[in-house]
Structure 1
Amino acid sequence: MNILVVDDEIYARKALIKQVTELLGSRPCELYEAQDAETARLLLSRIPFDLVLTDICMPGQTGLDLVEYMVSNQMAAQAVLVSGYAEFDYAKRAMELGVREYLLKPIEQEKLRRIVTDAVNRSEQARDENLTQNLKRLVRGDTTAELPFAAAAYRLVLLQASKDITPSLYRSICTECRGKGLRLAYAVDPLNATRIILLLDDEQSPLDFLGTRLANLHLIAGASLPFQDASGAAEAFRQAQSAIGGCIANAFCRLFVYQEPRKLMFTENELALFSEYLEKNTARARTYKEKLLERLVLDGSEY
């Protein structure tokens, strides 16, 4: 998230930056400042801002001129005007430009808190929507979609609930994961509304944390093998789907990690003969199976 504070008076500018910083707390945000509208325009042309807090009366171009520039260039940032005067003409022009927030100096802390909180929420929602769309493209095999974060290895996990997952439930799950420092992107499975797709940084050992939380949340999960880039996402999704099938088949397993199919241990003739016995004589089929398994043990094979 990016916030720009514009004011020609350095003490007023620094005081507002301090207020905003305190309101943000530990939430990640880049704060920028400009002493005039011209500098602000330069920053706006280079950086995608979420919120712009600008004084009205400044030498040269005014804060209203700056907002007009933002409107004419269709910038998504919310503009908030700051002034020491409750001038009707200013308010009227601001409304014409689509400005919905007007702060009078000295700035009321609670009103500023609401403005900053709303901006943070909008920024996070936009970020999550972008990550969701990218993740859906990746699992469909679109290798032009960008991975949402850089990692040496990724792992894809499908979480499944017994009923449709509500947005609040998957947000709470992801918030808890992020609270543990896990990097992730998430989306509702486009093929199954009861599932969440999680893309995780495998170097952070995310399965250890998920495994301890699934029982309390009444969820099951299927995890892929690690993969390195966007080209492996679609295959990882298939692996996670296969893994969650194994989890469903085992009532005592909450988290199932995909395993590569083992190499065929029997010849085609042996399998055909076993199938024939199975159809005609189950006792003979059972005896034949025991002989095949005995042969595998003698050969030192695993089964």
Structure 2
Amino acid sequence: MYKVMIVEDEEFIMQGICLIVDWEKLGLEVVHKAQDGTEAIDLWEQEKVDIIITDICMPQMGGLELLKKIREQSEQVRFIILSGYDQFEYARQAITLDVEDYILKPIDEEKLMQVLEDTVSKIQSLNKKKNYSIDELRKAGCLLKEPWDPEKAAIHMKELELALYQPCFAFATMKYKISTLKEDELASIYNYLVTEYKGDNMKVLFTEKDELLLLISWEEVGKKNPLAYFKKLQNQLEEKFDKPAFITVGPVLSQMQDLAKAYRHTRKLQRYLIIEGYGSCIDESYVCNRMHEDIDFDEDKLYNLIIHKDKEGAAAYLEDLIVNNITMEKYSIEVIDTTLVRVMILLQKIKDEFGIESASHQFYVTELLEEIYHADDISIIKGAIIVEMVELIELLQIENSQYSPVVKQIMAKVKNDYREDMSLKTLAGKYRMNPSYLGQIFLREVGCTFSQYLNNTRIKVARELILKTNMRMHDISNEIGYVDISYFYRMFRKYYGISPASLREIKSTTEEINTWQEVNQIEK
């Protein structure tokens, strides 16, 4: 089923569109309904759609501005414009922005159905063009597979017009941030490279969903500098597409069967992305002077900060440990990874030592390490670790505290009914206590106000839903008792230091990479 969003500020027209179309018959599903462009953008960010049916004139943000903003993120989504007679010229402008059609009000049912059918056909046609990636992945898989299979390799080398016995080969891996790429944009970059660099004997292969392998055969050894060549290429691509890439350059090879081993080495270099960031180009010389001795990680200090529930102190220590040691650019990535593992093991050790169990919080070292390994930004790594540390300190506070009966009842009430609209005043009435006095007791025993405790509980549940389900942010907000999604975003960022969307992105990026790697493995 293709997903549809309807954007219309007149409710009766909105309902009419929903009722006159047999959506299921067309293979369509209306997943969003918005009153104007601003609301439509918010809904789009929560869940992308394939087709947007929108009015032109609406409050806050009109249809043409909405179209321009969505087009900045996606060339794939199809637009159908609704227009009144007096807005005909606006509709004509929309045609230049690549819309499927415009429909004049009052809406003609047959016209709308025909336009939707044509739009579905166009989407299906566009989707067929995506098969290029699997074919290229198969070719790359053969060349990068060990042990080397000369017969299969010869077939694919012939398809790629690569001579097996050129004097030398230069190669590099080029990685893009998935979330910044529009649909099919990597294919556009691929086509540009194949066309513009054909004279350089360059061959381009897809190896991952966000990665290209660039191969160049050179007739003379030693007369060209691979690092300088790929840096120049990188600058030209960034100027053309305005999308920075991270390039790792491999050693010059004298025979193609050495490619698989050398490729593995360049993939290891890609871990330095968290240090250099997108827009950089490195080779082995970048890491040769980095230290392989252990980072000075004071486990006892962090242990004491955590068990004494010093959130600020523990967060500051981790900030210094992770950020400063990485940005100083003196340690190898292997040493940095080892340090991150030691931090994870320490958190798990504290959890085991204090026997912390919670139905809503399952702390898995392996899952967090997976998130960290696939992160491409040091702030994501820092955020993921601090989120887990804050959760652990919260659980320590619960496990190690002795509460009065009334406070225990309130905490149980919040745990079971956090979705409800509750306040300390209503609970004080229930327990026949003065609200001010009850608030003082709660603050003294729990260490935070009732309002803070309720928000903390809701936000922790939201975190689990973000990581373990595919629920939309709006639905998660409602599920935990927040009607205003903007307030939910503010509270989440205040509690964890990152937005709900950023946390979902960590999960999505990890899942996408894992899925693509599974496909890669099958093709190999």
State the TM-score, normalizing by the size of structure 1: 0.41
Compare CA radii of gyration and give the structure with the larger one: 1
State the TM-score, normalizing by the size of structure 2: 0.25
Structure with the larger RCO, 1 or 2 (CA within 8 Å, 6+ apart): 1
Question: As a proportion of its length, which structure holds more helix?
Answer: 2
